[in-house]
Amino acid sequence: MAAPANNNSGCWGIPDVYKHHEQRKICISRPKYRDGRKAKAVKVYTINLESSYLMVQGVPAIGVMPELIQLCALYGVVEEYKPLDEYPAEEFTEVYLVKFQRLTSARAAKRHMDEKSFYGGVLHVCYVPEYETVEDTRLKLQDRRRYIIRAVQNKAREREQKEAVNEEPTSSIRATTSETVINRHDKTSDNDNTAIVSHYSGFPLLPLPPQEYHYYRHTNQHGTIPTEDKMGTLHNAIIDTKRHQAHNSSSSQTSSDRDRGTEQRLTSNQSSAAVRFVPRTTQLENRKRRMEEAVEQSLTDVTMNNEPLIGPKLPEPPKLDMEDVSLNTTVNLIRNTMKQVESVPDLKPVAKKMKPRRRI
Amino acid sequence: MQKMWKKGSTEGSDRFEYLQTLVTEFQDTDSEEAKEQVLANLANFAYDPKNMEYLRDLQVADLFLDMLTEENANLVEFGMGGLCNLSMDPECRHLILQSSGISLVTNCLSSQREETVLSAITTLMNLTTPSSRSEITDPAILQCMLRFSLSESPRLRNLAAVFLQDCCSKEQVARAEQQMQGQQTAVGIPLPKD
């Protein structure tokens, strides 16, 4: 080991290759009942394997570092990053080390970026706890213990509440079911968001792929307990559920936009304090993209909620006069049919989601 | 999804039944491969605090502890991983301590597999309570940690450092260091300069 170079920061020194960076062989011999949706290796996850440090392999060597970090920033505040030039990489690819501020962000980033294509390459993302300092490791363990204690306490409280509900069923059943419906609706957007949104809430996230834990999702009956998000602080998750519901139920676009604005300001403040190496241009680009995405999302939100649109409407297409009563009737008929056809796909996905799926 | 929506209130018992099926399969199967898979499944379920209660009821902590004396290194690794996950919960910690888990876990510190050793160190830290502290800060364990703290592997080094700093007193560490120095000159392991 080169002692002087490694002295200042053990974690940013010369990288070693560890066995746990490799992708393990997936298991194909599981019986149906315990075979998940995603092919996985036989492996046990513990807190020791997780880390807020991620290694991203398979990044095409075409100068897309800013884009990669922007992608990472979708999942949480990136504290530090650097290319690992010395790390053995496949030809024409690069390897990056990314340190997130929080473990939950790293977890979300890994889950959503691993094995995804990126500028023509396929990323391999793994935790690299060997880059942690002693202090990082200590905090990681403390956070985990605290989280477990709180989660277990919450569950006990939830059970007590449930028992109380059972004692006086008439009054509360209706409330519970309606809440479940709302929550179901939330869930369609993916409950993993809780982890991500809770600490990087500058913009609504892109829709995420379906999750493999699907079956054992928590039905969040009381609306305060965080869902499948396995770690991550509870109070954030609580705030998030509330906001999530507020988003869905708020009827005016303007108010949610205002919300978004303040959130954005908050995050940009936060990130300017925490992100050290992101160049100004990248930050601007990030912000611009976020704004665009926010607008896009808010538009889709409106159509999804099937609410009346507020604001100027598009001009009606000019009505053709065919100078013949019969022809005009036909034109009107065709126009109305076209309108109906156009309006159908807007409604369909909502109807589909609400309809209970039949299990075969 | 639909299933859960409909049976929201019985979701917990569904999960319990599923975990019970896993435990039953683990006990009934003769296939080593199936055993490993189910054990890994259970150990991963132990990561989620929502399952703690059910895993406690199913006495999975004892199941994990039983695995630590297996010959199959995979079973030991997965069982140790499961204990590492379970021991985060105070009630499970109590169960593990009652089943004299400390000595079983301590034996895993000499495993050839890094993952097993790391799980063992974290578990020992999780198991530390006022009443168990004296057993966990046994000089033999401290010497082990001191050796790990000089390891090439940063993960092992870091975790051992956290153990030495958080679980025992400076005097205990100093005493263990002294004892080790005697041994080390005999064995010829070099000490770091600073």
Adjacent-strand bridge partners of A124? A57
Query: Which residues of chain B are within 8 Å of residue A151 when distances are taken between CB atoms?
Result: 49-50
Same domain, B43 and B79: yes
Chain B interface, mutation test: which of A27, A34, A43, A44, most B Cβ atoms within 10 Å? Answer: A44
Q: Does B1 map to a domain? A: no
| B123 in a structural domain | no
DSSP three-state, residue B130: coil
DSSP notation for B56-91 = HHTTHHHHHHHHTT-S-HHHHHHHHHHHHHHTTSHH
pLDDT below 70 — which residues of chain A? 1-15, 17, 19-20, 22-29, 31-40, 167-282, 295-320, 344-360
> CA-to-CA distance for A55 and A106, rounded, in angstroms?
10
Question: Selecting from 3.30.70.330, 3.60.15.10, 3.40.80.10, 3.40.640.10, what CATH number does the domain A3-133 have?
Answer: 3.30.70.330
Domain locations along chain A: 3-133, 136-305
For A49, name the nearest residue in chain B, comparing CA atoms only. B115
In a domain, B29, yes or no: yes
Check CB contact under 8 Å for B153 and A145: no
User: Is the residue at B128 inside a domain?
Assistant: no
Nearest residue to A18 via CA among A58, A52, A61, A49: A49
User: What are A75-129's pLDDT values in tens digits?
Assistant: 999 999 999 998 998 889 999 999 999 999 999 999 999 999 999 999 999 999 9
Closest Cα in chain A to B84: A46
Residue B95 domain-assigned (yes or no): yes
| pLDDT score of A306 | 56
Instruction: Say if residue B43 is in the same domain as residue B85.
Output: yes
pLDDT for the residue A160: 85
Per-residue model confidence as pLDDT tens digits over B31-82: 999 999 999 999 999 999 999 999 999 999 999 999 999 999 999 999 999 9
Q: Which domain holds residue B169?
A: 138-187
Question: What pLDDT is recorded for position A109?
Answer: 96
Are B64 and B105 within one domain? yes
Sign (positive or negative) of CA dihedral A220, A225, A230, A232 = positive
Q: What is the pLDDT of residue A325?
A: 83
d(CA B98, CA B96) in angstroms, rounded, equals: 5
Helix (H, G, I), strand (E, B) or coil at A97: strand
Work out how many domains chain B is built from and give that number: 2
Q: At residue B59, what is the residue type? A: Q
> What's chain A's average pLDDT?
68
Q: What percent of chain B has pLDDT over 70?
A: 88
Backbone φ and ψ for B96, nearest 5 degrees, come out as -65, -40
Provide the pLDDT for residue A278: 59
Check whether residue B20 and residue B100 sit in a common domain. Answer: yes
* Inter-chain CB pairs, A–B, below 8 Å: 131
Cβ contact (<8 Å) for B49 and A180?
no
C-alpha A5/C-alpha A97 separation (Å) is 18
Q: Are residues B88 and B152 in the same domain?
A: no
The answer to the question of residue B75 being in a domain is yes
Minimal-distance CA residue of chain A relative to B154 = A130
List chain B residues with CB under 8 Å of A132: 154-155, 158
**Positions in chain B short of pLDDT 50:** 1-9, 186-194
